[in-house]
Structure 1
Amino acid sequence: MDSETPSAALPKHLKVSLTITVVLLVVLVLINQFLQTASAPQGIVSFQFAATADQAHAIVRSWGSDGVNWATVSLWLDFLFIPAYVIALVHLTRHLMRDRPGVRERMTARWVRALFVAAGLADASENVLLLNNFDPPDDVISLSATLCALVKFTAVTLGIAGLVVIRAARRHPLAPG
């Protein structure tokens, strides 16, 4: 009888990358608490989706100088979070493909990994745009950052959906291994 727990079955590199990702995510969520205002109810996410200079300016004004400092810290910390989550998701994809020899599953996994990398690239582009959109906010930069955020969130969502499809394809649990 195999007494191995599911978490023990995870490879060490996957555990480490997931741990780093979760720690950075928790820090970003905590920082985001300082950024929630009436103009930015979702904190930095509201700034990411401020598609016009007027919306971005209202958010920046509501934050004040302390909030802008926290937003800047959040965006710079996000540059560490990006490779952490991309690497963790790529490792997770490889782990979930461990017992999937099918051609369709392998092709889907390539698309899933490409989606995760695209999300990371869009996220980095978005951060650069947002760092340049504080004083004064600009319509083109605001809209560009919003489009990058949409690409990022869509790519991550589709990638995770792809992982679910890969795992559900044969309707059996991950084989120990």
Structure 2
Amino acid sequence: MDQTRHHPKRPLGLALAVSLALSAALFIALLVMNQPLKTTSAPQGIISFQLAGTAQHAQAILASWQPDNVSLARASLWLDFAFIAAYLTLLLQLTRRLSRDRPGVRERIIAKWVRMLFIVAGTSDVIENIALLNNFNPPDNSLSMAASIFSLLKFTGLLLGLAGLIIIRAARRQPLTPAS
């Protein structure tokens, strides 16, 4: 084998790997915590509470959860703050990695917008959690609506940001790992 033609694969990078592992572990923990929160009033668990929209719907969801599950929902929201930090770090690192060797102005602009979308999504997630933590006793129409709006803003920012990452990756002029 010709040594001059062999190029080692670019490593994932320790920071990116740690962010990925931490995000995955926290995501799995949140999924496990969400299982007991799924009821007929909250078929998606905590997500149903996020998207309740009205105090009446939020109250119905809270009533369907046993007192232990209300505590579990609160704990899930607190754990979500750590998950927000982890996934936001991961997505920003991934954006930097995919746009590292993109010298074009258009690619830099797309990467800037992708970073902004991820930051908006993370910030919206934090505000949503604050609204939800304040919406337990008793639920309030304005807090329920705010949580729903910020939840939708979060999901929109994440989806558009991920679409931007796909565009950045698809437009790459150089492969991540050079051909051997």
Q: TM-score with structure 2 length normalisation?
A: 0.92
- Tell me, what secondary structure is at the counterpart of 1:34? helix
**Over aligned residue pairs, what C-alpha RMSD do you find?**
1.3
What is the CA distance between 1:171 and its match in structure 2?
6.3
- Name the CA distance, whole Å, in 1 between partners of 2:21 and 2:134: 31
Residue matched to 1:38: 40
Aligned with residue 166 of structure 2, among 164, 167, 173: 164
Partner of 1:62: 64
Q: What is the match of residue 12 of structure 2?
A: 10
- How many residue pairs get matched? 173
Question: How far off is 1:52 after superposition?
Answer: 0.5
Q: In 2, are the aligned partners of 1:36 and 1:42 still within 8 Å (CA)? A: yes
Give me the whole-angstrom Cα distance separating, in 2, the residues matched to 1:3 and 1:80.
34
Question: 1:174 aligned to 2:176?
Answer: yes
Shift of 1:128: 0.5
SS at match of 2:37: coil
Q: Report matched runs for 1:109-148 at 5 Å.
A: 109-148=111-150
Deviations 1:108-145 (A, max 9, x none): 10110111111111000000000011111111110000
- Give the 3-state SS of the residue equivalent to 1:37 in structure 2: coil
> Residues 86-124 of structure 1: CA distance to partner in whole angstroms, max 9, x if unpaired?
010000001111221111111110110111111111000
Partner of 1:88: 90
Deviations 1:36-70 (A, max 9, x none): 00110100000000001111001000012111111
Please report how far the alpha carbon of residue 172 of structure 1 lies from its aligned counterpart in structure 2 after TM superposition: 5.5
Runs of 5+ unmatched residues, structure 1 = none
Name the TM-score, length of structure 1 as normaliser: 0.93
- Identity fraction in percent: 54
Match of 1:99 in 2: 101
8 A contact 1:99–1:175 mirrored in 2: no
Q: Which amino acid aligns with 1:163?
A: L
Does the aligned pair in 2 maintain the 1:99–1:174 contact within 8 Å?
Answer: no
Structure 1 letter corresponding to 2:142 = V
- Separation in structure 2 between the aligned mates of residue 50 and residue 35 of structure 1, nearest angstrom: 14
Gaps of 5+ in 2: 1-5
Runs of 4+ deviating beyond 6 Å: none
Amino acid at match of 2:118: F
Task: Look up the match of 2:3.
Answer: none
Per the TM alignment, residue 2 of structure 1 is displaced from its structure 2 partner at its CA by 3.6
For 1:35 and 1:101, locate their aligned partners in 2 and report how far apart those are by CA, in whole Å.
Answer: 47
